[in-house]
Amino acid sequence: MADSTRTTRTARTSRDVVFVDGVRTPFGKAGAKGIYAQTRADDLVVRCIRELLRRNPGLPPERVDDVAVAATTQTGDQGLTIGRSAALLAGLPQSVPGYAIDRMCAGAMTAVTTTAGGIAFGAYDVAIAGGVEHMGHHPMGSGVDPNPRFLSERLVDPSALSMGNTAENLHDRFPHLTKERADAYALLSQERTAKAYADGKIQPDLVPMATRSPEGAWGYATVDEPPRPGTTLEGLAELKTPFRPHGRVTAGNAAGLNDGATACLLAAEDVADEMGLGKRMRLVSFAFAGVEPEVMGVGPVPATVKALAKAGLEIGDIGRFEVNEAFAVQVLAFLDHFGVADDDPRVNPRGGAIAVGHPLASSGVRLMTNLARELAEHPEVRYGLTTMCIGLGMGGTVVWENTAWEGAV
């Protein structure tokens, strides 16, 4: 028989979740000549966590309720339950737990939405979420053993297992998204990144990293390694198409192979007020969606439709877009669907992954950190979103509200 004298459980209400702060390492080129060739992956994300704590002295470290760190390849220096191991290495108290998470390119985005859900539910007050990918140490697909049923039972098209081929498939499906448009968009990404650097807009959220060369010489990484400021349309037009003879996807209109890490601080809004923490933007809604794996680049479209519906918003309500640039054609497919111009100034105004790089599981928080800065500079904008395509046929979108919106009561 139940104990009728037991205290009635506390009623739960959803709490608002705010993005307090976000940082990242400069992104490097993967490979033996990249700036992080001799740097451990876990040290990259540890540096980000330490910087968050340094920048937010009002947060007692013991008040961090969980640390979620994403990595696509969870082995070697990206293994050992990297959220927990990074928390310990960063000097957080042993009482602070952590875990690893994976949703391929949307790993850090999922770390954010998962911990934010815990905050909204009341299980957490404060959480750290981020991601790391060292593609030099762990090349994309290394150690993967796809189940033969995928192909023998035709569950997916064979091209679905090659991200570059899925981008070529998008060009096939939407023939009006030409290579010329993709190259023009890629050039715009490079130009906007160069301008953002010149204006000092990217540097404030970069965490400098000590580096070491194979010869043992020490260096100091303070800027992204991948940008190509001398890019021209003529140069882009001459690049090889490695995924298909006479194809449209090149190294110039796609993100490269990169190393880097990100981390952000999330909190319940009332707790942020209590601690005197900054509140850059407020979570409104999020959604993930599945699509045909062989055209995974279209994933942001249904994810955004779902996220906007959950928020009761329309695409016209969004004043800033941070779209991950895995491939130019993937961004163009998103913009084309929603009737947004290729060169719309609301989209990736600080450039994107084609220029700065895309270390897989880390990129979601880079998008959020950029968006938070943009919203702070534009109090006339109320809503923004971050969105990205995800391998094996998915998309993810998070809608945010500007806490500095000038129309707030």
- Concerning whether 264 is annotated as a catalytic residue, the answer is no
Catalytic site residue from 134, 138, 171, 389: 389
What's the token pair of residue 229? Answer: 């400021």
Residue 284 near residue 111, CB atoms below 8 Å: no
Residue closest to 355 by CA, chosen among 265, 245, 263, 255? 255
Catalytic site residue from 137, 138, 358, 378: 358
Task: Give the Cα separation of 142 and 377 in Å (integer).
Answer: 41
Catalytic site residue from 48, 105, 138, 171: 105
What's the token pair of residue 121? Answer: 């539910």
Instruction: Report CA torsion sign: 254, 256, 257, 260.
Output: negative
- Concerning whether 48 is annotated as a catalytic residue, the answer is no
Task: Give the Cα separation of 259 and 137 in Å (integer).
Answer: 9
- The helix or strand, by DSSP H or E, that contains position 398, with its residue range, turns out to be strand 394-402
DSSP state of 27: P
- Concerning whether 105 is annotated as a catalytic residue, the answer is yes
Residue 48 near residue 42, CB atoms below 8 Å: no
Residue 108 near residue 262, CB atoms below 8 Å: yes
Active site residues: 105, 358, 389
